Amino acid sequence: MKVLIVEDDFASREFLINLITLEGYEVYSADNGEEGIEEYQKHLPDIIISDIQMPRMDGLQMLKILRNQKSDTIFIVTTAYGSEDYAIDALRLGANNYLKKPIERKNLLSLLKKYNALVDSRKLAKKAEGKTIERLIKIEFNTDIHHIPSIVNQLINEISDNIEEIEKTNIELGLDELITNSIEHGNLEISYDEKLEAADNNTLTQLYSARMKNSEFANRKIIVEYVYNKNWFEWTITDEGKGFDWKSIPDPTEGNQLMELNGRGIFITHFLFDEMEYTGKGNKVRVRKYLKSKND
């Protein structure tokens, strides 16, 4: 996987370069948005990690140019306390995620690992001939965190070609986040605090394994219902967990809790779809993406 780092602070840039290179990824770098676009055109990275406030051209300007060029590269912005509004603007412009400065090693590597699995699934996907006019499917699968990339890939393959690649990327990342949430916090009943502690101690794999050995959790299913017509795509994801207080999720239009948000994945997903709603006890979520012409 190819990663482009765009950061004007030398120490921060070198930290990211060294950290990501040691993980075996192919890394390129630039110290402002103008150079970032040049490096992007040379190497076509799978992921861009960019600061927002930079000289010559900032991260938001670079992001806007790339999205206008129909780039579907996964774009992660880095932001500090006091710049929450910039992060919200970035998500609205098409950024896919954000990281809080100073960047913690475990948070960055966890995000890269997840995205690497999706990038690999893309490369293995085969494009079907023809054009889907209408579609209704229902998929049931076992609770297994390792199957998420292939499940998301299966769902993405159902999408008509009459949609921009960047929109496919948003859908791909959004479905991955929601299905992961349904498995971790829904069927396996792993709390945010438990996951955070396991991530800090590098014991997430052991935590998943322990829950899966419990038949109460292991026998639960996830159901994804997918509907497509000429106007929109819609997915409904249902788990068999106890649910949660979805009404307590902060308004995604307000950034005051952005840096400390527990359910940051759910927060980000609001920006990846046109509609998103939880129902009932919170174990069912529906998302919709309206269909736009490639020329819109």
Question: Residue-wise pLDDT tens for the chain (296 aa)?
Answer: 999 999 999 999 999 999 999 999 999 999 999 999 999 999 999 999 999 999 989 999 999 999 999 899 999 999 876 567 788 889 999 999 999 888 988 889 989 998 998 888 777 655 544 455 567 889 899 888 888 888 898 888 888 666 788 888 899 999 999 999 999 999 999 988 898 888 888 898 899 999 988 988 989 999 999 998 888 999 999 999 998 877 776 665 555 555 554 567 778 888 899 999 998 888 999 999 998 755 55
Same fold, 2-121 and 128-290: no
Nearest of 160, 140, 170 to residue 239 by alpha carbon: 140
In this structure, the dihedral spanned by the alpha carbons of residues 250, 254, 258 and 264, taken in order and rounded to 10 degrees, is 40
Q: Tokens at residue 258, please? A: 């952005």
Backbone dihedral angles phi then psi of residue 235, each to the nearest 5 degrees = -125, 135
Percent of the chain as helix, strand, coil, to the nearest 5: 45, 20, 35
Q: Which residues contact 36 (CB under 8 A, 6 or more apart)?
A: 4, 6, 30, 48, 50, 57, 62
pLDDT at 293: 56
Q: What CATH class does 128-290 carry?
A: alpha beta
**Using an 8 Å Cβ cutoff, are 50 and 26 in contact?**
no
43: DSSP letter: H
Class level of CATH domain 2-121: alpha beta
Inter-residue contact 245 to 282 (CB < 8 Å): yes
Task: Give the pLDDT confidence score for residue 159 in this predicted structure.
Answer: 82
Contact indicator for 131, 291 with CB cutoff of 8 Å = no
Q: 16: which 2 tokens?
A: 């990211």
**Phi, psi for residue 243 in degrees, rounded to 5:** 85, -175
The torsion angles phi and psi of 40, rounded to 5 degrees, stand at -60, -45
Give the pLDDT score at 179. Answer: 94
- The residue ranges of every structural domain in the chain are 2-121, 128-290
